[in-house]
Amino acid sequence: MKKLSVVFTVIVVMFMIACSSAPEVRQPVSDPNVALVNAQNKQLEKIPVTGFAYKSAAVPKQNWDKWATMAAPVIKDVINKLPEGYVLQVTGHADGSGPEEPVGNKPGNIKISTERAKAVYNALKARGIDSPKMTYKGVGSSELLPGVDPRDAANRRVTFKVVPKK
| d(C-alpha 109, C-alpha 94), whole Å | 6
Please count the structural domains in the chain. Answer: 1
Q: What is the CATH number of the domain that holds 75?
A: 3.30.1330.60
**Does 71 score more than 80 pLDDT?**
yes
SS3 content of the chain, % helix, strand, coil (to 5): 40, 15, 45
pLDDT digits over 126-159, tens only? 999 999 999 999 999 999 999 999 999 999 999 9
At residue 58, the pLDDT reads: 94
**3-class secondary structure, 60:** coil
Q: Are 13 and 95 in contact (CB under 8 A)?
A: no
Q: What is the mean pLDDT of the chain?
A: 86
Instruction: Give the predicted TM-score (pTM) of the model.
Output: 0.80
Mean of the pLDDT values across residues 44-70? 90
Alpha-carbon gap, residue 64 to 9, rounded angstroms: 15
> Containing domain of residue 16, as a range?
2-164
Question: Are 121 and 8 spatial neighbours (Cβ–Cβ below 8 Å)?
Answer: no
User: What pLDDT, in 10s, does the model give residues 88-134?
Assistant: 999 999 999 989 998 888 899 999 999 999 999 999 999 999 999 99
